[in-house]
Structure 1
Amino acid sequence: MRSGIMGGFNIWIYGKGLMRGYIVSLALFLIGAILITYTGLGENVIPILTSIIMIVSIAYAAIYVVVHTKKKGWLHGGLVGILYIFILILLSKAFVTGYMLDRVVYYRIIISMITGMIGGMIGINMK
């Protein structure tokens, strides 16, 4: 058994997948910021935009991880979704004063897990 591999869980694959997901998030947030700044889009689109970006990034990260693990797509995808949102929550707790876990955060956790599971199912069926 190689280092970092435990029953199909390879920390390096997960790390690469999560980093790719965060890079996609950053790129999409940059595009969104440019669109909001230089077009007629109002600030009222920010909540839906952040949700869409989060869903796309988690799905991409889950697909990447599952394509490389090649088994149990829904399980690995769901784990990627949970890890993605928990890292964001930890960063928010560390850097945002007064950050609190409320109903919206709990919904985002559930959405992240479901999105990861769907991304994992898509990834396992890709060839």
Structure 2
Amino acid sequence: MSYKNKIKTGREKFFWTYVKGIFMACMLMLIMFVLLALLITYTSVSESIIPIAATISLLITAMINGMYVAGKRKKKGWLNGIIAGIIYMLVILFLSWVFMKEFKLSISILYKSIMALASSSIGGMIGVNLNK
């Protein structure tokens, strides 16, 4: 039996749902940052908006991640949203640690992580109800 014909088990679906959601959120975050960079480069917008825009981008992508995962799982939206948010935040923190020379865990990162978890939980509740 070829892999294409193999029926995915519940664990495989569970795993790939989260991977796709996190990948999608990371790509969306990358697109948002590129658009922000273009906006700052080619307009008179100040660089002082970067922290606010980064936080807003994080919250939006966390919510979309939660919506996608919970929508695919079709149950326990808040829980699947939080799980997706935790994994997403761990990926973001890991990438920040790898690519930023002066990365330090701080109270502001803790606050942003809590807001992102709340956002992904809300996204999970929305996502599970959109597919009914």
- TM-score of the two chains, using structure 1 as the length reference: 0.91
SS at match of 1:99: coil
Unaligned runs of 5+ in 2: 1-7
1:98 equivalent to 2:98? Answer no
1:117 equivalent to 2:121? Answer yes
The match for 2:84 among 53, 76, 80 is 80
Identity score, percent: 35
Unaligned runs of 5+ in 1: none
After superposing on structure 2, the runs of 4+ consecutive aligned residues of structure 1 that deviate more than 4 Å are: none
Aligned length: 125
The match for 1:5 among 2, 11, 17 is 11
Cα distance change on mapping 1:93 and 1:4 into 2, 3 Å: farther
SS at match of 1:10: helix
8 A contact 1:67–1:123 mirrored in 2 = yes
Shift of 1:94: 2.3
Indicate the residue corresponding to 1:14 in structure 2: 18
Indicate the residue corresponding to 2:37 in structure 1: 33
**Alpha-carbon deviations, 1:85-110, whole Å to 9, x = none?**
11111122223223110011101110
Indicate the residue corresponding to 1:63 in structure 2: 67
Of structures 1 and 2, the larger Rg is shown by 2
The CA RMSD measured in Å over matched residues stands at 1.8
Kindly provide the amino acid, as one letter, of the partner of residue 5 in structure 1: R
8 A contact 1:4–1:12 mirrored in 2 = no
- TM-score of the two chains, using structure 2 as the length reference: 0.87
